Amino acid sequence: MATNELCTRLTEAHSKSLLNNHDTFLFDCDGVLWNFPEIFPGAVELLNYLTEQGKELFFVTNNSTKTQDDYAKRFNEIGYKAKPEQIICTAWLTAQHLKSINFKGRCYVLGMQSMVHELGREGFEICGGIGPDPLASDATAVKTDKLNLDSNVDCVISALDLHISYIKILKAATYLNRPNVLFLATNDDASLPQSDEVVMPGAGTILASVATASCRTPTILGKPHAPMFDAIRLAFPEVDPKRTVMIGDRVETDIAFGNRQGATTLLVFSGATSETYLDSLKQGVEQQTKERDLLPSYCVKDVGQFLNFLKSN
């Protein structure tokens, strides 16, 4: 597809074509459906409308701090009856990936309780990393003989960890110094969605520290990487990328993810990517300085406008 055929402004005709020619719709959540606790106008109505039209909906998120059940509860509270299996979150994804490779062993996990829940549900053992593991406030050095390192770690998983510390990075890197230890990461997002001036470091900042210290390259599971779509196809074999629409707000994750899997992509301007940035990105692609995968098939103001196009006579 030529560059001038990408980034097409969505119209009523385009919208109805997307509806008629696709069976599956994948949604990112933050910046697309909500900036929680604010639910974007038309978001819930769009989900219900697509479901009424017989479409299959999934919610693909790099957020590793919530479980499938957490997200399903949130959707039900705002007026959409979601089933847990519709939620493709990276805590669940990590467990499914380990299951798919027939992993047998113990995991050191930099992450939150959601990781404990999803990994435990599939029978995987976590041997450390969850919760605070700080140095004493008056410490001036690390006493390595007091670290209580585990001799039986088979996998290190790097996720978003609000309790990250020097000691936890040290332990993760030390385990990864053992050549047979598997290295997984839920995602490599640099920052979290935020509506004010505060910069919220994402899971990618933790991953960068561990990868740098260990000199190891992880398998990254979340968007824009292939394992997330592989897990969807494994659990739902009927999903056909050519009849799938990926709707997101961030070109580097959502749109690149959809494009690389052969889906049609729809960018909304209600979140991370602005119209100005998209225009500059398109110029960069034309000048061959930016990746073509970052350009969406279509773009639209927000999900509310998409809904209006779908329902217009």
HEC letters along 102-171: CCCCEEEEECCHHHHHHHHHCCCEEEECCCCCCCCCCCCCCCHHHCCCCCCCCEEEECCCCCCCHHHHHH
Cα end-to-end span (Å), the chain? 30
- What is the identity of the amino acid at 10? L
Contacts 24+ apart (CB under 8 A), 142-148: 142/166, 142/167, 142/170, 147/171
Torsion (CA) 200, 228, 122, 148 in degrees, nearest 10: -50
CA–CA gap between residue 93 and residue 193 (Å, rounded): 21
Cβ atoms within 10 A of the Cβ of 174, count?
19
Instruction: Please tell me which residue in 23, 28, 150, 240 is annotated as part of the active site.
Output: 28
Q: Is 30 a catalytic residue?
A: yes
Catalytic residue among 23, 30, 196, 279: 30
Whole-number Å distance between alpha carbons of 158 and 218: 9
Residue 150 annotated in active site: no
Positions annotated as catalytic residues are 28, 30
